[in-house]
């Protein structure tokens, strides 16, 4: 198993591990490293990926320098290797939204988490990440995303999930492959808030989308976000009523 490293925005690195046996065409699991005075890792990866992903981090910076560990929601690919990261990086602090700290980290994390409020900014020194609460988007009550304000990078977690091992970065269509994956897996908890939550991300005007499964995107990212929001609105409208 090997994890490839690609810089998708200035000092923002995609650490991608392709697992060919997952899903219909294999599946990438992507962590993101924000290289700043206080480096931040977004997504821990599963425990089985930790050796490969930590070696990938070490190609960019000393793993012991990691200061922040963040993720969107409680699932093995998002935070399974949390304990391993905190053990390897003794100064690292896990940070999550208030709900996630209350329902999971305050009890389960090996050291106390730093809870971030909706809209709160962490100044990393050279990079600034804003926490955005997105409950149940893509899924899980504790879900949230991060937006790096200097590079305009939105860390989308499972939004725009697509299969296979596509290029690290594209300016092409993300929505078509994401809709196909949604139809295959049905991974999003579609509620009346789904479209509105995604439109709130579009309003930020991101220039890069750091996608957890598949290619990241470079360009006018408001357009694919609006389009994805419309897809989920249509899905909700088409749902059978009781």
Q: Would you call 242 helix, strand, or coil by DSSP? A: coil
Compute the least distance from the CB of residue 142 to Fe ion, in Å: 11
User: Nearer Cβ to Fe ion, position 20 or 125?
Assistant: 20
Compute the least distance from the CB of residue 65 to Fe ion, in Å: 25
- In whole angstroms, give the CA distance from residue 206 to residue 217: 10
Binding mask 76-105 for Fe ion (x = CB under 5 A): -x----------------------------
User: Nearer Cβ to Fe ion, position 109 or 145?
Assistant: 145
Query: Is there binding between residue 75 and Fe ion (CB under 5 A)?
Result: yes
User: Nearer Cβ to Fe ion, position 54 or 134?
Assistant: 134
Q: Strand order of the sheet with strand 3-9?
A: 3-9, 12-19, 27-34, 40-42, 68-70, 93-97, 114-116
Query: Is there binding between residue 212 and Fe ion (CB under 5 A)?
Result: yes
User: Nearer Cβ to Fe ion, position 40 or 212?
Assistant: 212
- In whole angstroms, give the CA distance from residue 175 to residue 173: 6
- In whole angstroms, give the CA distance from residue 39 to residue 85: 13
Total binding residues toward Fe ion, as defined by CB under 5 A: 4
- In whole angstroms, give the CA distance from residue 215 to residue 209: 9
Per CB under 5 A, the segment of 72-80, 97-105, 148-156, 162-170 that binds Fe ion is 72-80
Query: Is there binding between residue 148 and Fe ion (CB under 5 A)?
Result: no
CA 12 vs CA 36, 41, 127: distances in Å: 9, 10, 10
Compute the least distance from the CB of residue 125 to Fe ion, in Å: 28
Q: How many helices (H) and strands (E) does the chain have?
A: 8, 14
State which of positions 149-208 bind Fe ion (CB under 5 A): 158
Binding site for Fe ion (CB under 5 A): 75, 77, 158, 212
């Amino acid at each position: 198993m090997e994890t490839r490293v690609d810089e998708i925005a200035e000092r923002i690195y995609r650490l991608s591990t392709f697992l060919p046996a997952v899903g219909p065409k294999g599946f990438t699991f992507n962590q993101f490293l924000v290289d700043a005075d206080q480096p931040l890792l977004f997504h821990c990866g599963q425990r089985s990926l930790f050796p490969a992903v930590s070696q990938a981090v070490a190609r960019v910076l000393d793993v012991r320098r990691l200061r922040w560990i963040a993720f969107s929601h409680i699932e093995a690919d998002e935070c399974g290797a949390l304990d391993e990261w905190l053990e390897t990086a003794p100064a690292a602090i896990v940070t999550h939204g208030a709900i996630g700290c209350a329902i999971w980290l305050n009890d389960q994390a090996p050291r106390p988490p730093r809870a971030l409020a909706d809209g709160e900014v962490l100044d990393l020194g050279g990079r600034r990440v804003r926490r955005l609460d997105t409950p149940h988007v893509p899924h899980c009550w504790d879900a949230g995303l991060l937006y790096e304000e200097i590079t305009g990078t939105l860390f989308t977690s499972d939004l725009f999930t697509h299969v296979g091992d596509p290029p690290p970065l594209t300016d092409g269509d993300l929505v078509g492959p994401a809709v196909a994956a949604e139809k295959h897996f049905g991974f999003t908890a579609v509620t009346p808030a789904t479209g509105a939550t995604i439109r709130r991300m579009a309003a930020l005007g991101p220039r890069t989308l750091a996608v957890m499964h598949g290619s990241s995107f470079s360009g006018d990212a408001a357009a694919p976000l609006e389009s994805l929001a419309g897809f989920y609105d249509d899905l909700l409208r088409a749902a059978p009523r009781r």
